[in-house]
Amino acid sequence: MLPRKCATWVLLFFLISPTLINLLTSASPSDPRWAAKKRRLRDKVRKMFYHAYDNYMIHAFPHDELKPLSKSFTDSLSELGNLKLEHLPQGYSGSALSLIESLSSLVIMGNNTEFESAIIWLSDNLKFEVDARVNLFECNIRVLGGLVSAHLLASDSSNRLGQGVYKNQLLTLAEDLGKRFLPAFNTPTGLPYAWINLKYGVMENETTETSTSGCGSLILEMGALSRLTGDPKYESAALRALRKLWGMRSSLNLLGTTLDVSTGEWLEYSSGIGAGVDSFYEYLFKAHILFGKEEFWRMFHSAYIAVQKYFRHGPWYHEADMRTGKATYWQLTSLQAFWPGLQVLVGDIAAANSSHREFFYVWKKFGVIPERYLLDHQMLHPTEKYYPLRPELAESTFYLYQATKDPWYIEVGESIVNSLNLYTKVEGGFASIRDVTTMQLEDHQHSFFLAETCKYLFLLFDDSFMDDQNYIFTTEGHPLPVLRSWHDRLPETYIHSNWTSLKAGNQARRTSAMSMQVCPTRMNSWECGGQQVESACHVPDARSDHRCLTDDECGVDSTNCRRRSCSIAGYCGLWLFI
């Protein structure tokens, strides 16, 4: 019971705080006022999307991306962006990158008419027989991913298009592009070149340097293309590269950032969860969801534990040497903000929330997230102060709201929307920020603003698109439906009849949620010795008082996934790391 004096103060506080009472009673997502707020924010995001999309179509289409300040265009996907219009290859009319990137966003926002018009134009005009050197990774996630996703949306059972309009034209284009990717994989290692000429293949004296993301984040799009065409060569090429890359990991299950595709040697040993590596982790887990292969799960499980062990410091993730696990760079990069969203899919909600709140703190501090922030010096990187309209924080906010339904994430989304409109909206679209300290603008509206940023914000406030189908989203935000027919088999761990083997004896206490392939929140108290499971890798100590006689009675720490050990005094802890 509360002391009488304390109870009086509590009663008085509520008597004089009707605003607080209204806030508490209206926090439920089912409250009519709350639903109205979400609709208002949804409509605001829809207007943002069309302001960006319409300006692209007026001032930049059919070229790649919009320059909103000058109301002109750039062909940024390839080296063609460095050429003047009169010097472009004969017959080149632009790849319409921002249109391709917008296809699934148009569907999600319910504009089937514009979606149909876009398909007709692409069918009649898009050609890949062009002398253009493109980045394989970017072309894969943006163009191939956009085409494959739109094909699946156009050919599903919802009858979005007029009768007879769609005859697999986007799949035909996707297959043509996929064939042009294949020469990039003709290396001694099977790891693909980072650059390829769409007409002539790999150019003479092409660089052999690529990134972990560049050669390890191709399996979703190329795997989906194989499933749709019945031709296994696309998935086989991507899978061979992924297996080779995984085979190059260190004894700590860490990978570097850059490597040589000819020799298979690492060029940069420092690594983290940001640029150059981020989507590698993302695609391991999402490929497991999409294709059901246990191989992907085993890779991801080992990689995730290694990340938590060697990169995590509280809510932050620094970089470390793949050979030793020792920290190299203490910095936040804006691309790292995708990680909480991935942790939601894993089921590691507590860890996701912890990191997400730190990223949002940085957003509130600067108004947006700077590209790079030096954690050890508590200062901006001197040359990377820009914000190019990146979607990662909105993406993680969407996933966390889906998992928790906590109204706080709606407030985060509203803050992101307000900042984008305040700092980046201009008459000709949405401009990137060159310097977050001055909010000086840069003349570039990246296509991922249409493909991802607006999409994730819209889905945060209105997820009706996902009512009848489960999707995974590629690293460029293109939805791919999770189809039973694409799964090799249902993993045995998911079958309820097999759970008894994990419950027997003391085995349950020694098993993490990741090992069982279930969300921590779904684990019952008897599965973990009556103790709360705090993260996906957490294995509670055998005794609730943390006493022990041997290391076998100690579990795995919830904050960094390190194995705990028994001290001389007989207590479990992280004694080896103090």
pLDDT tens per residue, range 358-378: 999 999 999 999 999 998 888
Query: Which residues make Cβ contacts (< 8 Å) with residue 155, sequence separation at least 6?
Result: 166, 168
Neighbours of 361 (CB within 10 A): 10
DSSP for residue 535: S
Query: Quick one: 111 and 181 in the same domain?
Result: yes
Choose, from 175, 235, 371, 476, the residue flagged as catalytic.
Answer: 371
Whole-angstrom distance, CA of residue 126 vs CA of residue 94? 8
Q: Are 436 and 552 members of one domain?
A: no
Please indicate, yes or no, whether residues 290 and 149 belong to a single structural domain of this protein: yes
Ranked by mean pLDDT, the top range of 410-414, 502-506, 555-559, 568-572 is 410-414
450-500 pLDDT, tens per residue? 999 999 999 999 999 999 899 999 999 999 999 999 987 554 444 433 333
Specify the higher pLDDT residue, 460 or 561: 460
One domain for residues 183 and 298: yes
Query: How does residue 419 score in pLDDT terms, banded at 50, 70 and 90?
Result: very high
Position 511 scores a pLDDT of 66
- Does residue 504 carry a pLDDT above 60? no
64 — phi, psi (to 5°)? -70, -60
> Is pLDDT above 90 for 520?
no
pLDDT tens track for 35-84: 999 999 999 999 999 999 999 999 999 999 999 999 999 987 765 433 33
Over range 84-89, report the average pLDDT.
42
Active-site hit among 75, 175, 319, 392: 392
pLDDT at residue 8 above 60?
no
Tokens representing 302 are 């080992």
Has residue 101 been placed in a domain? Answer: yes
Alpha carbon 230 to chain centroid, angstroms:
27
- How far is 313 from 305, CA to CA, in rounded Å? 14
Neighbours of 116 (CB within 10 A): 17
**What mean pLDDT comes out for the span 19-23?**
42
Is residue 567 located within the same domain as residue 481?
Answer: no
In a shared domain, residues 482 and 565? no
Is 514 contained in some domain?
no
Instruction: Respond yes or no: is residue 138 known to be catalytic.
Output: yes
Q: Are residues 462 and 554 in the same domain?
A: no
What is the pLDDT at residue 6? 44
Task: Flag whether 519 is in a domain.
Answer: no
Query: Could you tell me where the DSSP H helices lie in 60-142?
Result: 97-108, 112-125, 136-139
Report yes or no on 104 lying in a domain: yes
Residues 328, 454, single domain; the answer is: yes
Half-sphere exposure of 216 (CA within 13 A, CB side): 29
Q: pLDDT tens, 109-127?
A: 999 999 999 999 999 999 9
Lowest-confidence region among 120-129, 256-265, 535-544: 535-544
Banded pLDDT at 21 (limits 50, 70, 90): very low
- Is 475 annotated as contributing to ligand binding? yes
Range name among 100-114, 155-169, 317-331 with the lowest pLDDT average:
155-169
Of 437, 470, 486, the one marking the end of a domain is 486
Which helix (DSSP H) or strand (DSSP E) does residue 170 occupy? helix 169-181
Question: Cis ω on the peptide bond leading into residue 3 (within 30° of 0)?
Answer: no
For residue range 238-258, list pLDDT tens digits in order. 999 999 999 999 999 999 999
Co-location of 46 and 140 in the same domain = yes
Average pLDDT, the chain: 87
CB-based contact 211:257 (threshold 8 Å): yes
Mean pLDDT of 424-438: 98
pLDDT of 230 above 70: yes
For residue 54, with 0-12 CB atoms within 10 Å meaning exposed, 13-18 middle and 19 or more buried, which class applies?
A: exposed
Over its C-alpha atoms, the chain yields an Rg (Å, rounded) of 25
Q: Is the pLDDT of residue 401 over 80?
A: yes
Q: CA geometry: angle at 372 spanning 371 and 376, to 5°? A: 160
Identify the CATH number of the domain in which residue 480 sits: 1.50.10.10
**Among 116, 138, 260, 295, the one annotated catalytic:** 138
Residue 65 lies in a domain: yes
Whole-number Å distance between alpha carbons of 421 and 189: 47
Q: Domain for residue 181, yes or no?
A: yes
- Assess contact for 500 and 527: CB atoms under 8 A: no
Q: What is the pLDDT of residue 530?
A: 52
Query: pLDDT band at residue 445, thresholds of 50, 70 and 90?
Result: very high
Residue with more model confidence, 509 or 555: 555
Q: Are residues 455 and 556 in the same domain?
A: no
Instruction: For residue 301, report the phi and psi dihedrals to the nearest 5 degrees.
Output: -55, -50
Which string of b and e fits 130-162 if b means at least 16 CB within 10 Å? Answer: bebbbbbbbbbbbbbbbbbbbbbbbbeeeebbe
Residue 301 has pLDDT above 90, yes or no: yes
For residue 568, the model assigns a pLDDT of: 83
- Is residue 443 part of the annotated active site? The answer reads no
Residue 493 lies in a domain: no
Are 479 and 571 in a shared domain? no
Please give the Cα distance from 395 to 340 (Å, whole number): 9
Note the pLDDT of residue 501.
32
User: Where is the domain boundary, 469, 486, 503?
Assistant: 486
Q: Provide the pLDDT for residue 573.
A: 87
The upper half-sphere exposure of residue 501, i.e. CA atoms within 13 Å in the direction of its Cβ, equals 9
Q: Per-residue pLDDT averaged across 495-510, rounded?
A: 40
Question: What does 507-531 look like in DSSP terms, one character per residue?
Answer: GGGG--HHHHTS-GGG--GGGGTTP
Q: pLDDT at residue 562 above 70?
A: yes
Coil, strand or helix: which one is 442?
strand
Provide the pLDDT for residue 11.
37
Determine the distance from the C-alpha atom of residue 360 to the mean position of all C-alpha atoms in its chain, rounded to a whole number.
16
| In contact, 493 and 325? CB cutoff 8 Å | no
534 is catalytic: no
pLDDT of residue 9: 37
Query: Is pLDDT of 29 > 80?
Result: no
Domain extent for 480: 35-84+92-486
Task: Compute the average pLDDT of residues 516-533.
Answer: 56
Of 444, 469, 486, the residue that ends a domain is 486
Domain assignment of residue 25, yes or no: no
Looking at the structure of the chain, the number of domains it has is 2
Q: Counting every residue, how long is the chain?
A: 578
> 282 and 178 in one domain?
yes
What is the rounded distance in angstroms from the CA atom of residue 451 to the CA atom of residue 147?
A: 12
Is position 278 annotated as part of the catalytic site? yes
pTM: 0.86
Sign of the dihedral through C-alpha 32, 38, 44, 49: negative
